[in-house]
Chain A
Amino acid sequence: MEKQDFFTSRWGLILSALGISIGTGNIWRFSRIVAQNGGGSFLIPWVIFLFIWSVPLIITEFALGKNSRKGPIGSFIKKAGSKYGWMGGWVAFVSTAIMFYYAVITGWCFYYLYSTVSGSLLSTPDHLQFWNQFSTSSLPVFFNFIALAVASVVVLRGVSNGIEKVNKVLISFLFIIILILLVRAVSLPGAFEGLKYFFTPKAEYLLDYKVWLNALTQNAWDTGAGWGLIMTYAVYMKKQEDISINAAIMGFGNNSVSLMAGMIIFSTVFALGSGDPLSQISQSGPANTGLTLIYLPKLFSNLSDSYSVNYFFTTIFFLALSFAALTSLISMVELASKSISDFGINKKKAIIIVSIIGFAFGIPSALDIRFLLNQDWVWGMALILSGAFISFAVIKYGVNKFRVELINGEGSDIKIGKWYNFIIKYLIPIQAIVLIIWWLSSSISWDKEFLNPFHSENFATCVFQWTIVLVSLFLLNKKLNKSFINE
């Protein structure tokens, strides 16, 4: 029997939880989606969904992990019942499938940091060619290996000695770096125009349901709510630890970083960009890398006449991006390893298995961006279903009982009111169903061959891969239960 490891302090737990949620999505995806959805018009629904999707789900995950002391599969079996272990399996599988290609993205960040430090990124005359050369070489495989190796070593060191210590340092530095970049960006001549666009709401966008659905999607993907990652970290929180305030800090902290990153990017692009700044921010580029890996390095290399200033700001930008990516990757490795070790396998062995499988399954994404895009579409979408399953587990357990006993129980600093019952029982399932229907029906309209499962981002590839996993997990349900039934 392995000795249970715990987070040693509340701040260690909070910074680690922030490490889950603050990822490349805050810096990379957020600004692009804001630009595509009318600037300030997007921010209003984005804040509303923080209250009715992200924070309630984060609270739920904390409560499930803290009280079951198991990863997603065990948590579902213990709280929803033995019939629903496959739902926990789905939550764990989806985050693990995301880990396979997220390690590749983390590797990209590491490579760009390395290229900045070595000077090659700042001296290149063509940033698109720089990206093309890198992405078509075997270097992404090597950096995928490095990213997974670093994350696995941290997880191997345990919760208090590895995950907590690393997150305390990296997330604290990340906040400092973001603040330095923010001060520099908003003080650039012309930055005000970018901020003006960023905060100006336009009625036609506010009345567009697509803007609202995109805001909900951003919350579902970006805050870490509904991934099962928080549930896994919560296994290691002490009994006397609070849930509600910690969950709120995580949700608001994550969105604070997104807001700062948006202000940095809009200020920089409007101040230094040539041509139409909005099209520069909203352009996707290959694998949605256009803004972060092609356009921003170009702007940073022209930040001032001084090479040292440009070198400093480009380096800290990619340092922040690498920290954000790595802390999220660490939580994914922990979730996959915890899910395996819950079946009685030694934790260290489980981590090694996860890193080897993770590296092997990441290779197709590292070698072919179309494969990565496919996986991002299929499993990113699946997260919405994970969120719905988590709310289902609570409904099955009894929403009011869950709130009173597990959330407002031992250690709670504040008591959560009955509003939580309404959100979990009605709003989360409705939001999940609307989002899934909207995305899948949209995917039919953007691909004429929407029934071809071998296309990168369409209806059939999503339904096909989901069905395989769901049917397999459903058939394995009895086996999944065996390990937990006698506990």
Chain B
Amino acid sequence: MNNYLPIIVAIVIIGIVWGGFIFFVSTAIKFEKGKKSKNV
């Protein structure tokens, strides 16, 4: 179990931090596209 612990923690931490960053950037892109298509 101890050998897997750093891998599990790495997946969770990277998942939350990088995953969160990518999620919010893609959400912003989605909203921007929506706003642009409304303007058209």
| A64 close to chain B: CB less than 8 A | no
Chain A residues with CB under 8 A of B16:
47
Chain B residues with CB below 8 A from A256, complex form: 17-18, 21
**Contact of B10 with A195 in the complex, beta carbons under 8 Å:** yes
Query: Are B6 and A199 in contact, with the CB atoms below 8 A?
Result: yes
Please state if B10 and A245 are interface contacts (CB–CB under 8 Å): no
B24 touches A200 (CB 8 A): no
Docked pose: A249 CA to B13 CA in angstroms? 16
Q: Looking at chain B's contact residues, is the secondary structure mostly helix, strand, loop, or mixed? A: helix
Least distance between A182 CB and chain B CB atoms (Å):
11
Q: Which residues of B contact A199 (CB under 8 A)?
A: 6-7, 9-10, 13
Tell me the smallest distance from the CB of A266 to a CB of chain B, in Å. 11
Contact: A248 with B9, CB < 8 Å? no
Distance to closest chain B CB from A246 (angstroms): 7
**Are B18 and A201 in contact (CB-based, < 8 A)?**
no
Contact call A43/B13, Cβ cutoff below 8 A: yes
Whether A405 is near chain B, meaning CB under 8 Å from some CB there, is no
Tell me the smallest distance from the CB of A17 to a CB of chain B, in Å: 12
| In the assembled complex, A226 has its CB within 8 A of some CB on chain B | no
**A256 CA to B15 CA in the complex, in Å?**
10
- Least Cβ–Cβ distance between B20 and chain A, in angstroms: 4
Partner of A413 from the list B9, B17, B28 (CB cut-off 8 Å) is B28
Inter-chain contact A259/B17, CB cutoff 8 Å: yes
Q: Knowing A10-B32, A196-B6, A201-B5 are in contact, say whether A252-B13 is a contact too (CB < 8 A).
A: no
Bound-state CA distance A262–B10 (Å) is: 12
Known contacts A43-B9, A199-B6, A200-B5, A259 near B28 by CB under 8 Å: no
Q: Does A358 contact B (CB under 8 A)?
A: no
A74 CB, min distance to chain B CBs, angstroms: 28
Q: Is the CB of B28 within 8 A of A249?
A: yes
Given contacts A40-B9, A200-B6, contact A259 B14 (CB under 8 A): yes
Are A259 and B13 within 8 A (Cβ)? yes
CB distance from A258 to the nearest CB of B (A): 8
Q: Say whether A14 faces chain B, with CB atoms less than 8 Å apart.
A: yes
- 8 Å CB interface, B8-34 against A: 9-10, 13-14, 16-18, 20-21, 24-25, 27-28, 31-32
Chain A residues 15-54 with CB under 8 Å of chain B are 40, 43-44, 47, 50
Residue of A40, A43, A245 near B24 (CB, 8 A) is A245
Contact assessment for B17 and A249 in the assembled complex, using a CB-CB cutoff below 8 Å: no
User: Across the A-B interface, how many residue pairs have beta carbons closer than 8 Å?
Assistant: 62
Q: Which B residues touch A240, using CB under 8 A?
A: 35
Q: How many residues of A contact B (CB 8 A)?
A: 26
Whole-angstrom distance between the Cβ of A179 and the nearest chain B Cβ: 12
List CB contacts (< 8 Å) of A254-304 with chain B: 255-256, 259
A253 CB-CB contact with B under 8 Å:
yes
Q: How far is the CA of A125 from the CA of B20 in the complex (A)?
A: 43
Interface residues in A192-244 (C-beta closer than 8 Å to B): 195-196, 198-201, 240, 242
- Find out whether the CB atom of B10 lies under 8 angstroms from the CB atom of A255: no
Q: Across the two chains, which residue of chain B brings its CB closest to A202?
A: B5
B14 / chain A contacts, CB cutoff of 8 Å: 259
Cα distance, A255 to B17, chains bound together (Å): 7
In the complex, chain B residues whose CB is within 8 Å of the CB of A253: 21, 25
* Residues of chain B lying within 8 A (CB to CB) of residue A248: 20, 24
**A252 and B20 contact, CB distance less than 8 A:** yes
Q: Complex: how many Å from CA A249 to CA B6? A: 26
CB pair B24 A249 closer than 8 Å = yes
- Complex CA gap A10/B14 in Å reads 25
Q: B28 contacts A252, CB within 8 Å?
A: no
Closest Cβ neighbor of B13 among chain A residues: A43
Q: Is the CB of B9 within 8 A of A249?
A: no
Closest beta carbon of chain A to B27's beta carbon, Å: 6
Nearest neighbor of B32 in chain A, beta-carbon distance: A10
Q: Closest 7 interchain pairs by CB?
A: A252-B21, A199-B6, A252-B20, A199-B10, A413-B31, A200-B6, A248-B24
16 pairs from A and B in contact (CB 8 Å cutoff): A14-B28, A44-B13, A199-B6, A201-B5, A240-B35, A242-B28, A245-B24, A245-B28, A248-B20, A249-B24, A249-B28, A252-B18, A252-B20, A252-B21, A259-B13, A259-B18
16 A-B pairs besides A195-B6, A240-B35 with CB distance below 8 A are: A14-B28, A40-B13, A43-B13, A44-B9, A47-B17, A199-B9, A200-B6, A201-B5, A245-B27, A245-B28, A249-B28, A253-B25, A255-B21, A256-B21, A259-B14, A413-B31
